Structure 1
Amino acid sequence: MTARPFAAPGRPHRHDVYMAVGGLLGGLLLSGLGLHSSPPLLGLPPWLGLVALTVMSGTELLRRTAPRAALGLATVALALDVCSGGLIATIVMFTDIVYAAVLYGPPGTARRVPVISVLLTVVATIVPVAILHDPQALLLGVGVGVITVSPAWTGIIIREHRNATRAARLEAEQTALLAEMDRTQAIIAERARMARELHDMVANHLSAIAIHSTAAQAIDDPGATREALGVIRENSVQGLAEMRRLIGLLRDAKDPGGTAEAQATPTLDGLDALLSQARANGASSGLTFVLEDTRADGGGARLPAPVELAAYRIVQESLTNALKHAAPGEVEVRIGHDRGGPLAVRVTSPFGDRPGPRAPGSGAGLIGMRERIELLGGRFEAGPEDGGEHADGKVWRVRASLPAREEEERR
Structure 2
Amino acid sequence: MTTDSVPTTAPPAFRVRRWLLPSALAEELDPDPACPGGRPRRTARDWLVDFACFLCAVALGLLAADGLADEPGLSNAMAAADQWIGAAAVAAVWLRRRRPVELAVAMVPASFLSATAGGAALVSLFTLAVHRPFRYVAWMGGATIALQPLYFWLRPDPDLPYLGVVLFGTLLIGAAASWGMLARSKRQLLVSLRDRARHAETEARLRAEQAQRLAREAIAREMHDVLAHRLSLLSVHAGALEFRPDAPRAEVARAAGVIRESAHEALQDLREIIGVLRAGDSDDAGRPQPTLAALDTLVAESRRAGMRVTLDGRVTDPAAVPASAGRTAYRIAQETLTNARKHAPGAQVAVSVTGAPGDGLTVTVRNTPPDGEAPPVPGSGQGLIGLAERTALAGGTLTHGPTADGGFEVRAWLPWG
* TM-score band w.r.t. shorter chain: 0.7 to 0.9
Q: 1:237 aligns with which of 247, 264, 270?
A: 264
Aligned to 2:367: 349
- Determine if contact 1:216/1:224 at 8 Å carries over to the other structure: no
**How far apart, in 1, do the equivalents of 2:39 and 2:382 lie?**
63
Task: State the shift of 1:55 in Å.
Answer: 4.6
Deviates more, 1:51-60 or 1:394-403: 51-60
Q: Within 5 A, what are the aligned runs for 1:10-409?
A: 35-37=66-68, 39=71, 45-57=78-90, 59-82=92-115, 87=116, 90-110=117-137, 116=142, 136-137=161-162, 139-141=164-166, 143-145=168-170, 147-219=172-244, 220-221=246-247, 222-252=249-279, 258-259=283-284, 264-281=288-305, 283=306, 287-295=307-315, 297=316, 299-352=317-370, 358-387=376-405, 394-405=406-417
Query: Gaps (5+ residues) in structure 1?
Result: 1-9, 388-393, 406-411
Alpha-carbon spacing, 1:13–1:200, altered in 2? closer, same or farther (3 Å): closer
SS at match of 1:382: strand
* Amino acid of the structure 2 residue aligned with 1:268: L
- Determine if contact 1:55/1:73 at 8 Å carries over to the other structure: no
Deviation sequence 1:346-387 (CA, Å, 0-9, x none): 111234598776421112211211110111221111222313
Query: Gaps (5+ residues) in structure 2?
Result: 1-37
- Determine if contact 2:308/2:347 at 8 Å carries over to the other structure: yes
When the two chains are superposed, the root-mean-square deviation of aligned CA atoms in Å is 3.7
Alpha-carbon spacing, 1:137–1:354, altered in 2? closer, same or farther (3 Å): farther
SS at match of 1:362: coil
What TM-score comes out, normalization by structure 1 length?
0.77
Alpha-carbon spacing, 1:264–1:21, altered in 2? closer, same or farther (3 Å): closer
**How far apart, in 2, do the equivalents of 1:12 and 1:323 lie?**
71
- Determine if contact 1:382/1:396 at 8 Å carries over to the other structure: yes
Kindly tell me the number of residue pairs found equivalent between the two proteins.
Answer: 367
Task: State the shift of 1:241 in Å.
Answer: 2.4
- Determine if contact 2:57/2:119 at 8 Å carries over to the other structure: no
Task: State the shift of 1:404 in Å.
Answer: 1.7
- Determine if contact 1:268/1:311 at 8 Å carries over to the other structure: yes
Task: State the shift of 1:106 in Å.
Answer: 2.7
**How far apart, in 2, do the equivalents of 1:400 and 1:317 lie?**
13
Identity among equivalent pairs (%): 29
- Determine if contact 1:351/1:384 at 8 Å carries over to the other structure: no
- Determine if contact 1:102/1:156 at 8 Å carries over to the other structure: yes
**How far apart, in 2, do the equivalents of 1:191 and 1:118 lie?**
67
Task: State the shift of 1:60 in Å.
Answer: 2.6
Alpha-carbon spacing, 1:40–1:273, altered in 2? closer, same or farther (3 Å): farther
